[in-house]
Amino acid sequence: MKRKDIHDILHPTSIAVVGVSNDQAKGATLFLSSLLEIGYEGQLYPVNPSVKEAMGRKTYPSLLAIPGRVDHVIVGVPARIAPSIVQEAVAKGVQSIHFFTSGFAEVGTDEGRTLQKAISDIARGKVRIIGPNCMGIYNPKAKIAFDGGQLPIAGGAAFVSQSGGLATYFARNAIQEGNYCSKVVSIGNSSDLRITDFFEYFSEDDDTETISMYIEGMADGEGRKLLNILEETTGRKPVLIWKGGQSDQGARTAFSHTGAMATSYGLWQTVVRQCGAILVDNVEEMQDFIKLHRLSSPSKGTRSCLVTFGGGNSVAYSDICAKEGILLPELEEKTQAALVEFIPPMGTIRNNPVDMSAAGWVPGVIERSLMNVAKDPNIDSIVFVTQIGFVAGANAERFGMDPKVILDFQVREVVSASQRLDIPLVCVNPVPFEDLALEELRLYVKREFEKNNIATFLSMERAARALKRRHDYDRFVDKVKAMHVQ
Amino acid sequence: MKRKDIHDILHPTSIAVVGVSNDQAKGATLFLSSLLEIGYEGQLYPVNPSVKEAMGRKTYPSLLAIPGRVDHVIVGVPARIAPSIVQEAVAKGVQSIHFFTSGFAEVGTDEGRTLQKAISDIARGKVRIIGPNCMGIYNPKAKIAFDGGQLPIAGGAAFVSQSGGLATYFARNAIQEGNYCSKVVSIGNSSDLRITDFFEYFSEDDDTETISMYIEGMADGEGRKLLNILEETTGRKPVLIWKGGQSDQGARTAFSHTGAMATSYGLWQTVVRQCGAILVDNVEEMQDFIKLHRLSSPSKGTRSCLVTFGGGNSVAYSDICAKEGILLPELEEKTQAALVEFIPPMGTIRNNPVDMSAAGWVPGVIERSLMNVAKDPNIDSIVFVTQIGFVAGANAERFGMDPKVILDFQVREVVSASQRLDIPLVCVNPVPFEDLALEELRLYVKREFEKNNIATFLSMERAARALKRRHDYDRFVDKVKAMHVQ
């Protein structure tokens, strides 16, 4: 598979959507409306022999009835019709077909396997297949989408997935976190185009800064290829891999899902980590890493200082950090002495975590705390922890204060400090309570921080995990660079 | 410590609050306003020699100046004044003092230790002390509160905590989850009254159905007492223990927090588990268990069936369940045959997880799926997974459907099935996206389910963990009962 081929497949200048109707709940129509919503600028041809018009657009009875050239075909028709569509596509000379259609090898029946073999046989050497049983392509730059809400805003995050649901989820989550995508590809049963075909492309793609993959299983020989591309890539770009079907019961589900045969997860972990890949367990961990990579500079080590309010959380947070491999060393005497000047001794922990308690409400205390901690030679990064529920909840109401005013001053102090610090500062900004007003304030704080390049995380655990992964990856890159220098 | 004493301390008929002012941000005043907000019905005496009135109430210059009897005293004054307050309390003949005041042993200075010893020495044998450095008592039945928003609604959840922040958080979280409290006590440095004093009381307290504890460290000999009470209690009531300071760095923080000396967590785990305690790692895990215990009947085993939409999550969910000790066995041929009658084969997994895909939008499918799964002899419980983002998000909008109508029909089907099932049914209802409208719908679905005794959990991981803990606890109780019969 050459790079050029994949590039063309991801940038078609004309698309036919086969199986559209006026029922928007039906698969093919969903793709048509997604393409219309994102504003696809190429030629768009709805195909259905039974209707004259779909979503206000003229339909064509078949691929062959389309007057112009067709680069890419999206298919949502019953599986038994699939072989005839491939025949048409071959006759029409299209470059790629994406089958949303399911009912192939993943069903585990002879009929399903036979149908999948049939489309592969007809297409081989003539038309490339994405799928079957998948969502296909989201390419914001080329304005191709497979779901509503997929914005035409391009970024550096690439994702290739053996699950359509997770591809959909990744794209939505990425947009939510500001981790805009370069390309997202859902490949389903990968009867033809595989994980490694897209991985290889993303590795060389200048628009792609991080590569994420959801893998359930691989074809014979594909594992070796994956490792080769990993070795080629991880020194230049982070590669995040989530392996579905790690457990026996997950592997059984993965088989029913995409017909994938899984290998032992232990083996996976070892070899894939050796090649510098970052192993994750869900989409959120992908987004957390991508965000930290996007917004933060590398840290020199795993020694963090937490700056927070309230002792009970401090202990819990220390335990979480220990578990995730983030150290919270004691602060120097000098730093402690500096902090005690403006954080009163009562009810506070002047050590690490720095617990500002109620002093955190006094203007200047947050910023001075952060600046002093950053000077401590034992500290490589700072984690600021918000307390929206505490700051903006019952207390603000009771004191007759506008919660937004308090939060604004806190945000201002953190942002101002972060711009002067020479070590990374990130933020844990947990969901306060199930209160829509507080949730709105949390989202406000998140936006303000991230606008100013301060990555926020929903929990201490997620922040610690991202920091550790980032650290491990940065050290890996250092080693690769050192090797190249020699 | 006799039960009667603790009972009296938790049900004072008169309370003095020392150190009140008109500055609501100040500690003592916060307690006064919390007591007023919850509607404390006993005598309430604000004390401060420097002001005549606080929050519209006459203040007294000292405890001795109060005309009537005083059962309980809440103190928020600087630590150095604390000994003189204890002297007054002894002279006044009060039964208990709660010191919100911090600056004692937890600071790690000679001065702090000396002050803590001083108040203990003066009080010994005359007045009981809660704290210092803590939030004291929330008793909804007696209408005593230490925070705004603490409702006078009593339930079965008791909590005793060495962290004030976590006691505050537990109470708020409990109210949010409908796990109303019997009593919450924050004991801070436990210079006098300890974890085990309250544990012993909760063990016998008829209003208490579950007992939760946050422990950072225990005094000499208290560990033995804890085990004795555990052995006495766990066959009758679940006891949940969160041990803070599990790691070395957490233990160091715990020391700065409440002056507690921690023991090895490994030892803890072993002995405490042997006595039937349920070990947890945060307040959310406590609430999840309490909710499951409150709403669900025991299950016969750990074999669950997930009923959901969308394949990618199914694989991830299988892996999570495997990790948490929840089995997802294959369904019987007969069950699979029944399901295939109304769930079309395409894109679905008729096995476990049951993936209804788009068929889940067809009226009747959810209820019939649940009823058929429940009949399968391989299945002990059902986990229904909502997809608010998918059901009510972009798709509902695009199809011009009212998301609430779709959700209502789905909720109705699940509730109707759950009322006819003879195995437990719980629900995973994850936060959809950072969208306030969707979050509102999620909360709506949560309320509807829990009103109908279907426990909802924020993630598959949390549901699986709660199910496993519940199962382990139920088997422990079976064993205890079997022993008693012999």
From the list B258, B313, B347, the residue facing A102 with the nearest CB is B347
The C-alpha of B483 sits at a distance from chain A's nearest C-alpha, in angstroms, of 35
| A contacts of B111 (beta carbons < 8 Å) | none
Peptide bond preceding B432 in cis form (omega within 30 of 0): no
Chain A, 38-77: which have a CB under 8 Å from a chain B CB?
none
Task: Return d(Cα B96, Cα B86) in angstroms, integer.
Answer: 10
| A contacts of B327 (beta carbons < 8 Å) | 249
Is B398 within 8 Å of A148 when comparing Cβ atoms? yes
Which stretch of DSSP H or E encloses residue A255?
Answer: helix A248-258
> Average pLDDT over chain A, rounded to whole?
90
Is B164 within 8 Å of A312 when comparing Cβ atoms? yes
pLDDT of residue A22: 79
What pLDDT band is residue A251 in, cutting at 50, 70 and 90? confident
| B contacts of A436 (beta carbons < 8 Å) | 436, 439-440, 443
Chain B, 203-242: which have a CB under 8 Å from a chain A CB?
214, 216
Residue in A closest to B362 by C-alpha: A25
Is A253 within 8 Å of B282 when comparing Cβ atoms? no
The C-alpha of B426 sits at a distance from chain A's nearest C-alpha, in angstroms, of 20
Size of interface A-B (CB pairs under 8 A): 211
The C-alpha of B150 sits at a distance from chain A's nearest C-alpha, in angstroms, of 10
Is A176 within 8 Å of B319 when comparing Cβ atoms? no
Task: Using a CB–CB cutoff of 8 Å, tell me whether B437 touches chain A.
Answer: no
Task: Using a CB–CB cutoff of 8 Å, tell me whether A78 touches chain B.
Answer: yes
Amino acid at A463: A
pLDDT of residue A451: 96
Is A249 within 8 Å of B328 when comparing Cβ atoms? yes
Query: How big is the CA angle at B277 (ends B449 and A322), to the nearest 5 degrees?
Result: 90
Chosen for mutation from A100, A184, A315 (greatest number of chain B CBs closer than 10 Å) is A315
What is the 3-state secondary structure of A394-415? Answer: HHHHHCCCCHHHHHHHHHHHHH
pLDDT of residue A346: 47
Task: Supply the ipTM of this predicted assembly.
Answer: 0.88
Beta-carbon contacts of B486 under 8 Å, excluding residues fewer than 6 positions away, are none
Task: Using a CB–CB cutoff of 8 Å, tell me whether B297 touches chain A.
Answer: no
Query: What pTM does this model have?
Result: 0.92
Is A25 within 8 Å of B358 when comparing Cβ atoms? yes
Task: Using a CB–CB cutoff of 8 Å, tell me whether A103 touches chain B.
Answer: yes
For the sheet with B425-428, list strands across it: B354-355, B304-308, B381-385, B425-428, B456-457
pLDDT of residue A406: 84
Is A216 within 8 Å of B315 when comparing Cβ atoms? yes
Ramachandran angles phi, psi of B302, nearest 5°: -100, 15
Average pLDDT of the residues in A226-233: 95
Please enumerate, as own/partner, the contacts of A5-8 that have beta carbons within 8 Å and a separation of 24 or more. A5/A95, A5/A128, A6/A193, A6/A197, A6/A198, A6/A200, A6/A201, A7/A201, A8/A71, A8/A95, A8/A96
Is B253 within 8 Å of A431 when comparing Cβ atoms? no
Ranges of chain B whose pLDDT falls below 70: 1-3, 24-25, 252, 254-263, 310-312, 345-350, 393-399, 486
Task: Using a CB–CB cutoff of 8 Å, tell me whether B247 touches chain A.
Answer: yes
The C-alpha of A88 sits at a distance from chain B's nearest C-alpha, in angstroms, of 23
Residue A93: alpha-carbon gap to chain centroid: 35
Chosen for mutation from A213, A253, A281, A440 (greatest number of chain B CBs closer than 10 Å) is A253
Is B161 within 8 Å of A312 when comparing Cβ atoms? yes
Task: Using a CB–CB cutoff of 8 Å, tell me whether A23 touches chain B.
Answer: no
**Tokens representing A443?**
């989202």
Is A398 within 8 Å of B244 when comparing Cβ atoms? no
Is A103 within 8 Å of B322 when comparing Cβ atoms? no
Task: Using a CB–CB cutoff of 8 Å, tell me whether A316 touches chain B.
Answer: yes
Amino acid at B40: Y
pLDDT of residue B246: 76
Neighbours of B267 (CB within 10 A): 10
**Tokens representing B381?**
């419980």
The C-alpha of A481 sits at a distance from chain B's nearest C-alpha, in angstroms, of 33
Is B214 within 8 Å of A257 when comparing Cβ atoms? no
pLDDT of residue A310: 66
Task: Using a CB–CB cutoff of 8 Å, tell me whether B399 touches chain A.
Answer: yes
Task: Return d(Cα A159, Cα A166) in angstroms, integer.
Answer: 10
Average pLDDT of the residues in A293-305: 95
Q: How many residues does chain A have?
A: 486
Chain A, 407-426: which have a CB under 8 Å from a chain B CB?
none
pLDDT in tens, A461-471: 999 999 999 99
pLDDT of residue B314: 80
Task: Using a CB–CB cutoff of 8 Å, tell me whether A269 touches chain B.
Answer: no
Task: Using a CB–CB cutoff of 8 Å, tell me whether A314 touches chain B.
Answer: yes
Q: Which of B418, B425, B464, B462 is nearest to B302 (CA)?
A: B464
pLDDT of residue B36: 95
pLDDT of residue B347: 45
Task: Using a CB–CB cutoff of 8 Å, tell me whether B108 touches chain A.
Answer: no
pLDDT in tens, A428-461: 999 878 889 889 999 999 999 999 999 999 999 9
| B contacts of A107 (beta carbons < 8 Å) | 345-346
Tell me if A202 sits within 8 A of A211, measured CB to CB: yes
Chain B, 110-149: which have a CB under 8 Å from a chain A CB?
133, 147-149
pLDDT in tens, A368-395: 999 999 999 999 999 999 988 777 765 6
DSSP conformation class of A188? T
From the list B133, B314, B323, the residue facing A247 with the nearest CB is B323
Residue B235: alpha-carbon gap to chain centroid: 20
Residue A83 has pLDDT above 90, yes or no: yes
Residue in B closest to A80 by C-alpha: B346
Residue A299: alpha-carbon gap to chain centroid: 22
| B contacts of A19 (beta carbons < 8 Å) | none
Tell me if A186 sits within 8 A of A167, measured CB to CB: yes
Task: Using a CB–CB cutoff of 8 Å, tell me whether A172 touches chain B.
Answer: yes
Which stretch of DSSP H or E encloses residue B336?
Answer: helix B333-340
Tell me if B272 sits within 8 A of B162, measured CB to CB: no
Is A253 within 8 Å of B216 when comparing Cβ atoms? no
| B contacts of A101 (beta carbons < 8 Å) | 346
Residue A200 has pLDDT above 90, yes or no: yes
- Burial readout B246-263 (b: 16 or more C-beta within 10 A, e: otherwise): bbebbbbbbbbbbbbebe
pLDDT in tens, A138-170: 999 999 999 989 999 999 999 999 999 899 999
| A contacts of B247 (beta carbons < 8 Å) | 318-319, 322-323
| A contacts of B79 (beta carbons < 8 Å) | 346
Ramachandran angles phi, psi of A285, nearest 5°: -65, -35
**Tokens representing B126?**
């005359």
Tell me if A438 sits within 8 A of A388, measured CB to CB: yes
End-to-end CA distance of chain A: 33
| B contacts of A247 (beta carbons < 8 Å) | 318-319, 321-323
